[in-house]
Amino acid sequence: MTTSARSASIDRKTSETEIRLTLSLDGTGKSVVQTGIPFFDHMLTLMTRHGLLDLEVEANGDLEVDYHHTVEDIGIALGMALSKALGDKAGIRRYGHAYVPMDEALVRVVVDCSGRPYLAYEAPRGVEAIGLFPFQLVEEFLRALSVHGGLTLHVSILAGRDAHHMAEGVFKALGRALDSAVSHDNRVQGIPSTKGVL
């Protein structure tokens, strides 16, 4: 794990989940992810690798009920860590976007580290589960991340038939868009907003 001033650790415990998470924005794409949900571990690892973030996640959730609480609560913890690591957001680019093709699937993610949570999510209806992982949980994760990270987040699955490919495209594009948005730009003086605060 890379040590960085732009890093944060979150310990979050509820009656449904217990999560320990550490995020570094200035990483190299290293991850140690143990959520108890193998497919979700894979998605978070992809996001980390392609976003050049460093991420450690250890989660224990009520998986015997279903995956929803664990996926959503990791989104909450990741959003909290992102917000904390960004601090006052001075010098960042603020906006980021990425298009990622994954075979027949094409995904676009656009992010604004605005402090104004909003998720716009476009995906085909009735996408089948990926093994035991309901595709709907992709949206639930994104919403939790947006709300608790203070992100305006637009995610569009522009094409796709294979559920795994569509989900993989989302997480890869999310990582790349976040990398761009949180990167420093030496030309940016102070907070990247005419309001003077984000």
Q: Which pLDDT does position 3 carry in this prediction?
A: 45
pLDDT tens, residue by residue, 11-55: 999 999 999 999 999 999 999 999 999 999 999 999 999 999 999
pLDDT-above-70 percentage for the chain: 98
Angle at 78 between CA 117 and CA 195, to 5 degrees: 35
Which tokens go with 71?
A: 């996926």
Pairing relation of β-strands 105-112 and 152-159? antiparallel
- Number of domains present in the structure of the chain: 1
Q: Is residue 188 part of a domain?
A: no
Residue 36 lies in a domain: yes
Closest listed residue to residue 123, CA positions, set 78, 76, 169: 169
State both tokens at 81: 């860590």
Query: Is 195 part of a structural domain of the chain?
Result: no
Q: Report pLDDT digits (tens) over 89-108.
A: 999 999 999 999 999 999 99
Residue 28 maps to a domain: yes
Residue 164 confidence (pLDDT): 98
Q: Is residue 187 part of a domain?
A: no
Residue 4: pLDDT over 90? no
**Residue 190 located in a structural domain:** no
Would you state the pLDDT for residue 87? 96
Domain assignment of residue 13, given as a range: 7-182
pLDDT digits (tens, 9 = 90+) for 122-153: 999 999 999 999 999 999 999 999 999 999 99
Asked if residue 193 is part of any domain, the answer here is no
Bridge partners, 102 (sequence order):
105
CATH code where residue 73 lies: 3.30.230.40
- Is 51:178 a contact under the CB 8 Å cutoff? yes
Output the pLDDT for position 198.
Answer: 86
**Within a domain: residue 189?**
no
Computed on alpha carbons and rounded to an integer, the radius of gyration of the chain in Å comes to 16
Asked if 165 and 112 touch (Cβ cutoff 8 Å), the reply is no
DSSP symbols for 101-165: EETTEEEEEEEE--S--EEEEE--TTPPPBTTB-THHHHHHHHHHHHHHT-EEEEEEEE-S-HHH
Residue partners of 182: CB distance under 8 A and separation at least 6: 6, 25, 82, 86, 92, 93, 96, 113
Interatomic CA distance for residues 44 and 171, integer angstroms = 7
Report the C-alpha gap between 21 and 10 in whole angstroms.
5
